[in-house]
A and B are shown apart, each in its own frame.
Chain A
Amino acid sequence: GQQLNQSPQSMFIQEGEDVSMNCTSSSIFNTWLWYKQDPGEGPVLLIALYKAGELTSNGRLTAQFGITRKDSFLNISASIPSDVGIYFCAGLDQKLVFGQGTRLTINP
C-alpha cells in the first residue's frame, strides 16, 4: 500500500527557533495536507496544498507541495510553546494516507 516517510521523527528545539519537517512518498498525491495533533485530541488541519509547486502560508507556518507531487515540507518560524505537539503530513487521493508524525518538543 501507499506509504509516506516523514522526517524527522522527533525534534527538540529552543523557543524562538525555526522548524522544518518533510514528507516523501513513493507515489503521487493530488493533495497534500499537514495536521497537528495535541495529546488526546484528533488532528487539526493546518495547511492544505492542492497544486504541485504551491507554496502556502498560515501565520508562522509555510508548506510547499513538491513539483513531483511526491513530497512536501512544513516550516514553522519563531516557534512558541503552543507549537508543541505531533505534526502529521497526509497525502490525499480517495482516502488519506498519513506519515508517521514528527513530535515537536520546545525548551523554554
Chain B
Amino acid sequence: GAVVSQHPSWVICKSGTSVKIECRSLDFQATTMFWYRQFPKQSLMLMATSNEGSKATYEQGVEKDKFLINHASLTLSTLTVTSAHPEDSSFYICSARDMLAVYYNEQFFGPGTRLTVL
C-alpha cells in the first residue's frame, strides 16, 4: 500500500513553455501533498504544501505564480511550471500524506519527474 505515482517521469521542453506534472496517491486518500525540488547532488527542498480544496502554501523564495499547484481531489495534485527556463531544470518529487494512517504525519514519495528545459 501507500503508493504514489508521478507523471511524466521525465520531460524535455523548450524555454518559455509550461509543463504540468501530476502526482497521484494510488491506494489512499491524501488531503495534503508536498512538492519538492532536488538539484543534482543536493538534498530535497520543499517548494510548497498542497491542500485539497484550498490554496497551496509556498515556501519562502518559491514563486507561486511560476509554480502553480492545484489539488483538486484527494488523490491528485498537479504542479505546473509556467514559462519554464533552463534554471528550472531539476528533479521534482511529490509526496503524499495518508489522512487515515496511524502515523498520519508520514509522507510517501513519488518516483520523481526529471524536467529539462532547453
Contact = CB atoms under 8 A, between A and B. Distances in A.
Interface of A: 1, 31, 35, 40-45, 48, 50, 88, 92, 95-101
Interface size class of B (residues with CB under 8 A): 20 to 34
B44 interface: yes
A101 B112 contact: no
Nearest to B108: A45
Interface of B: 4, 6, 34, 42-46, 49, 60, 91, 93, 95, 103, 105-112, 114
Contacts of A41: 111-112
B112 A40 contact: yes
Contacts of B111: 41-42
Contacts of B49: 95
Nearest to B46: A95
Contacts of B114: 40
12 contacts: A41-B112, A42-B4, A42-B95, A42-B109, A43-B93, A43-B109, A45-B106, A45-B108, A96-B46, A98-B43, A98-B44, A100-B42
B74 to A, nearest CB: 19
Most B CB contacts (10 A, CB to CB) among A43, A50, A98, A99 go to: A43
